[in-house]
Amino acid sequence: MKSVFRRTLFLGFIAFLLTVSGCSVSTAEQFSSGNANRPLVKPKTATERPKIVAFGDSLTAGFGLAEKDSYPYLLQKKLESDGFNYEVVNAGVSGETSLGGLERIDWVLAQENVQILILELGANDLLRGLPVAKMKENLSTIIEKAKAKNVKVLLCGMLAPDNLGAEYQRDYVSAFPDLADEHKVEFLPFILENVALKKELNQADGIHPNAEGSKVLTANVYQALKPMLEKK
């Protein structure tokens, strides 16, 4: 029953996504994704506390939201409230693909004292119909680069509609748990659980969470992240 609901949900969800897949990179973000006219830059950080890097696309960047409503900002507040001494770095870029993430991951991981990477990429690969094998390879390399620096990874999965073909859907949906198993990293199956297609929790585009939806998204991430944390 749950799988039927998710399949129906994503048929609508992806239809919405296809109408806005041309959204530009948020000017509030500090990264360039493969733009030859701009150098890749590292995110600015305020402290030398242990860092949690939220690395992803528009869902991470907080597309359409005030900074204080983005999930990395809300996650920072949750950590502080629970006595965890981490700095959350928002390394989200709207429209990012797995390849774009791979192109900038070295810059992001070059910061001092990065301890956890929350990896949320793949939805834009799906929208563009990019090969699942290539997406999986890109994400695998990102995970390997993080682990090579002793950075723990929380991988966020995505779902796919069946109108892309049963084989593509199967390969796409299984790519994320397969990667989590292969690399032995923590896994959040669906970052938009209890948010997707709920009108009251999304912006007018029907895709990106509004301020209330961002709170639910943050709770999803925090539930998966919390076992990875250490009190300092």
Give the residue numbers annotated as catalytic, written as ranges: 58, 205, 208
Residue with tokens 């895709």: 207
108: burial class by Cβ within 10 Å (0-12, 13-18, 19+)? Answer: buried
Residues 23 and 63 sit within 8 Å (Cβ to Cβ): yes
Of 48, 19, 123, 82, nearest in space to 218 by CA: 82
DSSP assignment of 65-99, as one string?
Answer: S-GGGSHHHHHHHHHHHTT---EEEEEE-TT--HH
Residue with tokens 């890097």: 53
Alpha-carbon gap, residue 231 to 65, rounded angstroms: 30
Alpha-carbon gap, residue 72 to 53, rounded angstroms: 9
3-state secondary structure of 178: helix
